[in-house]
Amino acid sequence: MKLVRTFKYAAERAGARVYENTVIDHVEEGPVHALRTRDGHVVRAKLLVLACNAFAPNLGFFANSILPLREYVGITRPLSDDELTALGWRFRAPFSDMRTEVYYFGLSRDGRVHIGGGAPQYGFNNAPAAPGDVELHRRQLGRELVRVYPALGGVEFDLMWSGIIDWSLNAAPSVGRTGKHGNVLYGIGYSGHGVNLTSVFGRIIAELAAGREDRWRRYPFVNSSLDYVPNEPFRWIAAKAGVLWYASGG
């Protein structure tokens, strides 16, 4: 969030105008796009940038290119100095394991341990998370936390939250130009690595918009084709099979 706020501040200093909480319900493609907002207004633009990750299919784009997967994070209460000493975690550097379904850990300034990751969740036809799903992931994260730090046995999570990532079938992203008139720019398929890659892709998108495409033509992710994601029920089967495959160490 701090990074997003920094980018927002830089954009406004450069002359951009940011309209927060403006929900776009529909996009009519054309030489000039018409973006219809939820409150009944229409915004027209010659160039459209899709920077909405897993929510791009809601606007009619990349529905068969990505899977929206939900990831969870849990954070403990503030730990005492003695409890932190028992962990042996002398430095506050965050870390993760090396699995494809990675678990990652961090230590906040007030001594809270957070853990996120593990097996993501896909709901049939992109259904939202149910209370039972949240509890399942709470237990999953709790088991992994105690496995890595046995001294935290019995320490519950103070808070849990979740977010949606856009997963491509080969876990590789794509950035480039699309649309019937070639006036839609996009970055998508970050597969859990968006914090770093979106910064790079933002620069690429800006240069594509300015007509400076040549320097990026050899970049492997520019205009790369994303593997086809089937419709339901095959989408759900593929998502579940992929999660089981990675969880088994495949």
Residue 240 belongs to a domain: no
Residues 100 and 147 in one domain: yes
Residues 81 and 156 in one domain: yes
Residues 13 and 39 in one domain: yes
Residues 75 and 151 in one domain: yes
Residues 56 and 179 in one domain: yes
Mean pLDDT, rounded, for 203-228: 92
Residue 77 belongs to a domain: yes
Mean pLDDT lowest among 54-58, 115-119, 244-248: 244-248
Tokens at residue 37, please?
Answer: 């907002």
Mean pLDDT, rounded, for 197-210: 94
**Domain CATH number, residue 146:** 3.30.9.10
> Given a cut of 70, is residue 110 above it in pLDDT?
yes
CB 214: neighbour CB atoms within 10 A? 8
pLDDT band of 248, cuts 50, 70, 90: low
Range of the domain at 42: 2-66+169-231
Residue 236 belongs to a domain: no
Single pTM value for the model: 0.86
Number of folded domains in the chain?
2
Residues 159 and 206 in one domain: no
Residue type, 172: A
> Given a cut of 90, is residue 189 above it in pLDDT?
yes
Residue 239 belongs to a domain: no
Strand partners, 185: 49, 177
* Confidence at residue 132, expressed as pLDDT on a 0 to 100 scale: 72
CA atoms within 13 A on the CB side of 121: 23
Candidates 216, 161, 162; CA nearest to 187 is 216
What are 61-104's pLDDT values in tens digits?
Answer: 999 999 999 999 999 999 999 999 999 888 888 998 887 778 99
> Given a cut of 70, is residue 131 above it in pLDDT?
no
Residue 118 belongs to a domain: yes
